[in-house]
Structure 1
Amino acid sequence: MDRQPTLETERLVLRPLAEADREPLYAVAGDPAVWEQHPIHDRWRRDVFDAFFDDGLASGGALAVTDKTTGAILGSTRYDKYDPEEGGVVEIGWTFLAPRHWGKGVNHEMKRAMLAHAFAHVALVEFRVGDTNYRSRNALEAIGAVRTDRYELEKYQGKRVVHLVYEITRESFASGPLS
């Protein structure tokens, strides 16, 4: 599965993240409101953002989300953890958008394209989201993701961070809200 495709929708182009995207993406990520419910709540800080951006570049799956008409950066997202065994699974996550694009269907449009691409190669897509990130949890449920009973524990700045695991199957996508 190509984890850095170029995907086009009616309003968006998702393309491989590049070093040249660092400053325009920081202009989006530098807004603390983007991260207020996220477990890594300080990604608006330059040093934390730069580490996040570098990790995205190194992942081989990070995408810049751009306006199809203007080319402006709206945010970023990523394909990660791809396993082709047993029908295949890939994780989608690390998504953030400028607040001015919240509630305008951009996430739905972006995820529809990403899921359609993924389901040409895998049977299952997983998402991990912080347990207190209600904005992202609601967004996942709105696109048809179902919370599993699995979770992962991490530490950030000495505090416990719980990530809940959501999933969408190829079959549920075909009949779900994004079909």
Structure 2
Amino acid sequence: MDRQPTLETERLVLRPVTEDDREPLYEVASDPMVWEQHPIHDRWRREVFDRFFDEGLASGGTLAVVDKAKDRILGSTRYDKYDPEEGGVVEIGWTYLERRCWGKGINREMKRAMLAHAFEHVSLVEFRVGDTNYRSRNALEAIGAERTDCYELERYQGKRVVHLVYEITRDAFEAGPLA
């Protein structure tokens, strides 16, 4: 599966992120409100963002989200862990968008394109989201993702971080709200 495709929708182009995207993406990420419910709540700080950006660039799956009409970066998202075994599974996540995109259907449009691409190659897509990130949890549920019984524990700045695991199967996608 190509984890850095170029995908086009009515309003968006999702394309592989490059080093040239660092500053426009930091402009989006530098708004503390973007991260207020996120477990890593300080990605608006330059040094934290730069580590996050470098990790995303190295992952080989990060996409810039670009407004087609204005040719302007709105945020970023990523295809991550990919396992081709048993029908295949890929993870989608690390999504952040500038606030003026919230509630405008941008995330839904982007996820529809990403899921359609993923389901050409896998039978399951997973998402991991912080347990207190209600904005992202609601967005996932609105696109048909279902919370599983799985979760992951990490630590950040000495505090426990819980990530819940959501998923969408190919069949659920084809019959769900994004069909």
TM-score under structure 2 normalisation? 1.00
| CA distances 1:65-92 after superposition (whole Å, capped 9, x unpaired) | 0001111000000000000000000000
Which whole-Å CA distance do the structure 1 matches of 2:132 and 2:4 have between them? 29
Partner residue, 1:24:
24
Which residue identity does 2:105 align to in structure 1?
G
Partner residue, 2:2:
2
Partner residue, 2:83:
83
Partner residue, 1:71:
71
> Are residues 1:157 and 2:173 paired?
no
Which whole-Å CA distance do the structure 2 matches of 1:46 and 1:105 have between them? 28
Partner residue, 1:57:
57
Which whole-Å CA distance do the structure 1 matches of 2:70 and 2:31 have between them? 21
Partner residue, 1:172:
172
How far the C-alpha of 1:15 sits from its partner, in A, is: 0.1
1:8-157 correspondence to structure 2 within 5 Å: 8-157=8-157
Which residue identity does 1:112 align to in structure 2?
R
| CA distances 1:106-137 after superposition (whole Å, capped 9, x unpaired) | 00000000000000000000000000000000
How far the C-alpha of 1:37 sits from its partner, in A, is: 0.1
- What is the RMSD computed on CA atoms of the aligned residues? 0.3
Which residue identity does 1:124 align to in structure 2?
L
Which whole-Å CA distance do the structure 2 matches of 1:75 and 1:139 have between them? 16
Which residue identity does 1:171 align to in structure 2?
D
TM-score under structure 1 normalisation? 1.00
Q: Secondary structure at the match of 1:126?
A: strand
Which whole-Å CA distance do the structure 2 matches of 1:121 and 1:71 have between them? 29
Which whole-Å CA distance do the structure 2 matches of 1:128 and 1:27 have between them? 24
Provide runs of 4+ in structure 1 moved above 2 Å. Answer: none
Which residue identity does 1:51 align to in structure 2?
R
Which whole-Å CA distance do the structure 2 matches of 1:20 and 1:142 have between them? 33
Q: Secondary structure at the match of 1:82?
A: strand
Matched positions, count: 179
Give structure 1 stretches of 5+ with no counterpart. none
Instruction: Tell me the percent identity.
Output: 83
| CA distances 1:38-82 after superposition (whole Å, capped 9, x unpaired) | 000000000000000000000000000000111100000000000
